[in-house]
Structure 1
Amino acid sequence: MALSAQNGEEPEVDLSAAVAGALQSFAQAASLAELKTLKNRALDDKSVLGQAKAQIKHLVAEKRAEVGKRVGAARKEIEAAYQKFENELAEAEAQRLLVEETVDVTVPPERAWLGARHPLDLLIDEITDFFVSLGWSIGQGPEIEHEWFNFDALNLDPDHPARQMQDTFYVDPQINAETQPGDSHLVMRTHTSPVQGRTMVASQPPIYLACPGKVFRSDELDATHTPVFHQVEGLAIDKGLTMAHLKGVLDEFARAMFGPEAKTRLRPSFFPFTEPSAEMDLWFPQKKGGPGWIEWGGCGMVNPAVLTACGIDPEEYQGFAFGMGIERTLMLRHGINDMHDIVEGDIRFSQQFSLTGKGC
């Protein structure tokens, strides 16, 4: 088919065939995007209509208007057809989406479970807030600790049972026939007391320090024990401190953890790092079998040997210290009977505490 005008004559273009071809292709379009592509192809400069329009300027004057009207009419017919098929495809697409995206409100939804902070973290935050409210500092230290801070500075003799491998994790002990446990002098700290030792070595009294943190013991995981657990220990060094000050802090802490009816009592005991020493009992109304006393931790006045080892004059300063397990505190507060629930990481366990409003 000739598409060029010769000597000003009308180009030999079959506009009807071009329109019919465009309409036929529109009818076969499967999507709005495909339909738009076909429309552009039927009307662009390379199409039959586009080339016919381009040749109008080469026609003699009396032919231009007539051919221009025919090209314009063909274009309008293609655009009208496009609009018709576009409406039909849009309607079909809307109906398809209505079917595919229909929501059956009677079907139980699949709930996406949200995460929750572990109750131990929440309790540590609460403990930290309590001691900060007293004006105490919060101390932290390394979990891999030197033997001197973990044992020697705390007046634990080299033959103390706690220093044996059945109780303490030694780091790279290099055990063989010629060496003894502890040759590396590095241990996984067995309590947070080394933080207190480091603070006393680096600071001068007065010192009021609470040390919550992770500790390690060579225990089997069972309902009441775990090899990795958390403690909070407190240390106060100042002039004129007595057991009465210690008892007052413990009673306030007990009330903060267990409510206004909570109270503590002290029973004589022995710890190498305190003298005198005491076991601390908690009055526990929810105790099985009825209200009663239950062991919560240990405490006492800081042994003068510990003060001396850390560079503090025991003739001028006195101190008290205490410590209790955070897992045990959590178990007592919420009636948790099995340590496995705390350490196994089941999200459902943590969610119980995050939804209470109080957190823990």
Structure 2
Amino acid sequence: MSAPNKSYDPVEVEALKPEEIERMRDEALAAFAAAGDLDALAQAKTAHTGGTSPLALANREIGALPPQAKAASGKLVGMARGAVSKALAARQTELEAERDDRVLVEEAVDVTLPYDRVPAGARHPLTTLSERIEDIFTAMGYEVAEGPEVEAEWFNFDALNISPDHPARGEQDTFFVAGESGKSDSGVVLRTHTSPVQIRSMIDRAPPVYVICPGRVYRSDELDATHTPVFMQVELLAIDEGLTMADLKGTLDHMVVSLFGEGMKTRLRPNYFPFTEPSAEMDMVCYVCRGESVGNPDRPCRTCSSEGWIELGGCGMVNPKVLTSVGVDPQKYSGFAFGFGIERMLMFRHNVEDMRDMVEGDIRFTRPFGMEI
């Protein structure tokens, strides 16, 4: 059928019969009317107006007809394709209008709502708790002191009466800063506690000295549920005439009451630290059971293991050797100091079970604390 055949009768071409062309047109119109959305209409458009649609294939048959037969068949196919195109455009207009009306309803903006719909932010709880502790002691007359995180060994160890062979001065516990030679013999470390700030405070200030020293410290620990190589610590130092362990005990009691509420108290257990003498571990009464679980099998406490007390940190009277190293007369002045980890305090105060939650930066952890704690 590549060339006209004058003896070919067009009625013998099934696709060009008038009733067949009418059927193709009606099927297309019905498909457009049945399309419920623009995606369905697009599929119907491809099926009934595309290059392989029935009317497109019928139109190709016209080229093989004799000249005298082309006009009649071309008119029939052209009218059918015109009706299909008109119905397609009309249905597309209807569906676009329905879509626009639906969007106006579903995506309506309530202009009466507050214009600022950004969720409220949250400070990190370690920051807010650190500031809360600072507020407690500044209200008592203490001064907030700060110092460098990269510290000389003399401030971090020697001035604190920590001997050269002390285990804390080994690479297993301390991060040493490499010198120009690349070796860790530069005499510089990442501070392992905020005690160097106490040394600097006693050098910079004449007694009496009352300072609180919060800050970031570093230890060679693995990151797990209860340990982290970088953590927050706060230490307190008081140097004055006539200070005793009784002053230390009263200060500790005031701190735990301010942080955990009335009825809280502390106790001291003998211990050893090079920079204090005498030294003690400080415990606070369990903030959950308040000691009522001790000897009471009917009321066990998971927080303190029914012991009634929770270990908080270390404390003691400042060692006279430390006072001498910074030029303070130990015959005239005495002092006390204590320190604890703020992460540990946060875990106690808010039942945080995994220390890794504090350092991973997930806003789902920080947001419940809000702006204050």
Into which bin does the TM-score normalised by the smaller protein fall?
A: 0.5 to 0.7
Q: Flag the 1:97–1:104 CA change in 2: closer, same or farther, 3 A.
A: closer
Paired residue for 2:72? Answer: none
Measured against aligned partners, the alpha-carbon deviations of 1:309-352 in whole angstroms (never above 9, x if no partner) come to 01100001000000011000000011111111111111011111
The whole-number CA distance in structure 2 between the counterparts of 1:263 and 1:162 is: 31
- Paired residues, what number? 257
Paired residue for 2:328? Answer: 312
- Conserved 8 A contact 1:285-1:291: no
2:270 alignment partner, SS class = strand
The whole-number CA distance in structure 2 between the counterparts of 1:300 and 1:102 is: 70
Moved more, 342-351 or 283-292: 283-292
- Conserved 8 A contact 1:283-1:291: no
Measured against aligned partners, the alpha-carbon deviations of 1:238-262 in whole angstroms (never above 9, x if no partner) come to 0000000000000000111111121
Quick one: which amino acid aligns to residue 151 of structure 1?
A: F
Root-mean-square deviation (Å): 2.5
2:277 alignment partner, SS class = strand
Unaligned runs of 5+ in 1: 1-94
Given the alignment of the two structures, is residue 141 of structure 1 paired with residue 143 of structure 2, yes or no? no
1:324 alignment partner, SS class = strand
The whole-number CA distance in structure 2 between the counterparts of 1:301 and 1:291 is: 27
The whole-number CA distance in structure 2 between the counterparts of 1:306 and 1:128 is: 24
Paired residue for 1:7? Answer: none
Deviation of residue 98 (structure 1)?
7.4
Quick one: which amino acid aligns to residue 345 of structure 1?
A: G
- Conserved 8 A contact 2:173-2:219: yes
Given the alignment of the two structures, is residue 276 of structure 1 paired with residue 278 of structure 2, yes or no? yes
5 Å-filtered alignment, 1:142-157, equals 142-157=148-163
The whole-number CA distance in structure 1 between the counterparts of 2:330 and 2:139 is: 28
Paired residue for 2:195? Answer: 193
Deviation of residue 114 (structure 1)?
3.9
1:256 alignment partner, SS class = helix
TM-score by length of 2: 0.65
Paired residue for 1:166? Answer: 172
5 Å-filtered alignment, 1:123-142, equals 123-142=129-148
The whole-number CA distance in structure 2 between the counterparts of 1:156 and 1:240 is: 25
- Conserved 8 A contact 1:115-1:347: no
1:228 to 227, 230, 249: 230
The whole-number CA distance in structure 2 between the counterparts of 1:194 and 1:275 is: 18
Measured against aligned partners, the alpha-carbon deviations of 1:216-266 in whole angstroms (never above 9, x if no partner) come to 001000000000001110000000000000000000001111111211000
5 Å-filtered alignment, 1:106-121, equals 113-121=119-127
The whole-number CA distance in structure 1 between the counterparts of 2:173 and 2:321 is: 24
% identical equivalent positions: 58
Paired residue for 2:220? Answer: 218
Measured against aligned partners, the alpha-carbon deviations of 1:184-222 in whole angstroms (never above 9, x if no partner) come to 111110000000000111111000000011100010000
The whole-number CA distance in structure 2 between the counterparts of 1:141 and 1:112 is: 37
2:135 alignment partner, SS class = helix
TM-score by length of 1: 0.67
Paired residue for 2:353? Answer: 337
Quick one: which amino acid aligns to residue 269 of structure 2?
A: R
Quick one: which amino acid aligns to residue 212 of structure 1?
A: P
The whole-number CA distance in structure 1 between the counterparts of 2:100 and 2:131 is: 50
